[in-house]
Chains A and B, each alone.
Chain A
């Protein structure tokens, strides 16, 4: 490889190295940018109070937008915001990992697209990425799905919004127990975090309100997206004669399809999965971001901001406030089960049904609540849940 006589030619190694580096870089750059974004006109950012004519809103997802799961629920909400509120322009970026990549995604949405409100939807985006960006861009509003905002600690342009989706899981449990003669339910779970435990417990309590002997078998897969383990978990539940399976993983697609193939009934999560299991899909606990995002979009166009406290910093709610909803009942659901489900929805909306109502015990026999006490949905104690209620077969450790 002597280049002595032709000093201006590149050696083959250099060319190969250059090609490799540039193609690898180009690909990763392309991937992390996701969708193409057209250069924007100045997104008419309003100074305090005055209503803007156009507003650019950015959404960032941790996975693909059409995964039948968490991200799809948010993406549908974003689409509804654009459709229902004139003047909102949407920029989106999918499959952004919870690393500095999300900080870069936010920065480019703000600086290049002129976004004035951002919805980085994944839980792990908050600390430190959203916090750092919120400090740096005090005139941009950040909305994060989760309960992490602390008054006085975090910048004023951050809002935490979150739904008590376990209320929908409770109703799903009621329907599941109605449809399961043996009362054997299954739950494919990713990791034992409080939010997931709350879903398992509410689902079980819903089921036991119908059939006091109903049980929920929990199988942990260990991570949010491990398709082979999710399929294995579903199969081993089917082997054990479990009659209704639900889940809390990033994308319930594998669980729903595998259960349908095994002839087991399913109850969905995150979004509507009825097309995946046309026979066995009963109902499902869905996020209803469409209504929340539409309301926020209208607030934006009316000139309300977080900085002037026009929009509250913590938005929470359950079935009654349209933060979540139930999938339409599948063809397998009996009229009796439908009636029970509708009654449970009405009971929760009116506040008649309190899910965590004493006497309540853990599945190891410890007391959670004495007979005369209850924990309402907005009680912060429920957000640090670290137990399974009686009726759940499984352990957290």
Chain B
């Protein structure tokens, strides 16, 4: 099919496509972090988990594609990424709950550890091409190749969107959700209820890291679809900040992730139609957004509404 120039229509289309493509890691990591923080601990190490997930998914997809075929291999990669994430999460969960250990400090150590591990084991996988996750072509109705390509939706995106109402329901209406919230809001009360703070937090951190690992898999197996040492470029940390201004609500995590994913496409989309000044500003859009929302929502006079009570308290 002949490719026609889209002109100005390319901007909204590019942002839409960027939203669908780029928001997946933000969504999965922020949902994972949302669960973790609800239980009263912060896991900054998700940046490292993201890298580890990306590397292990790519490696497993590449190595197993000869044995099980490309489609299954990529899904095997996703699963491995989740498991690798759980491994890192378990380390964080155990370390961060030791007496008088600061979870933020452990998180920073885990960023270095996860990233280092991923770079170390990932060396042989930079060059080869691994089979990518199959995508759902939702744009078949359009005759424009640009629209068709923009609407290549990753199953991981759908997975993330499906988790949103599920997690919301989990927090509101289930006994286990209540446990998590109780541990996060008032550990003493939870202890009095007979809930093991350690294991609830451990489970939340491990489950959250599982999601972050899958987020990493979407980076290396969906978009941009390569494994390099700079693949995450701070997205894990941004997703952690994103949870704060999503006020620990899964639904708001979804909107915030879409916003961030779309913001990444701003700079290139504008430049492609000839708005070529201030591209550094457009590229910085997500960070400026983060700062603005932090300033607007934070006040020294009151605590953030929705913040788990035990978050940031040492025990």
The interface of chain A, by Cβ under 8 A from chain B, is 1, 12-13, 16, 20, 23-24, 27-28, 30-31, 63-64, 66-68, 95, 184, 217-222, 225-233, 235-241, 243, 251, 253-254, 257-258, 262-264, 275-276, 393-395, 397
Contact = CB atoms under 8 A, between A and B. Distances in A.
Q: Taking each of B95, B100, B127, B149, which has the highest tally of chain A beta carbons within 10 Å of its own beta carbon?
A: B127
Interface in B273-290: 273-274, 276-277, 279-280, 283
B72 interface: no
Given A226-B233, A236-B14, A257-B225, A27 B112 contact: yes
B279 A227 contact: no
A68 B233 CA distance: 19
3 tightest CB-CB pairs across the interface, nearest first? A241-B5, A231-B224, A236-B272
B225 to A, nearest CB: 6
A221 B120 CA distance: 27
Interface of B: 3-7, 10, 13-14, 17-18, 21-22, 95, 98-101, 106, 109, 112-113, 116-117, 119-120, 123, 126-127, 129, 145-146, 149-150, 223-226, 228-231, 233, 235, 264-265, 267-269, 271-274, 276-277, 279-280, 283
Contacts of B264: 228-229, 232
A30 B99 contact: no
B226 A254 contact: yes
B126 to A, nearest CB: 5
Contacts of B100: 13
A232 B18 contact: yes
A247 B272 CA distance: 14
Contacts of A393: 274, 276
Contacts of B10: 236, 239-240
27 contacts: A12-B99, A20-B106, A20-B109, A24-B113, A63-B229, A64-B126, A64-B228, A67-B228, A95-B119, A222-B283, A225-B230, A226-B233, A227-B231, A227-B233, A229-B264, A229-B267, A232-B14, A235-B18, A235-B268, A237-B272, A238-B146, A238-B149, A239-B6, A239-B10, A240-B7, A254-B228, A276-B129
Contact of A218 (B101, B235, B265, B276): B276
B127 A12 contact: no
Given A16-B98, A24-B109, A236-B272, A227 B224 contact: yes
A253 B226 contact: yes
Given A232-B269, A258-B225, 18 more contacts: A23-B113, A28-B112, A220-B276, A222-B267, A222-B283, A231-B21, A233-B271, A235-B18, A241-B4, A254-B225, A254-B226, A257-B225, A262-B149, A263-B3, A276-B129, A393-B274, A395-B276, A395-B277
Contacts of B119: 31, 95
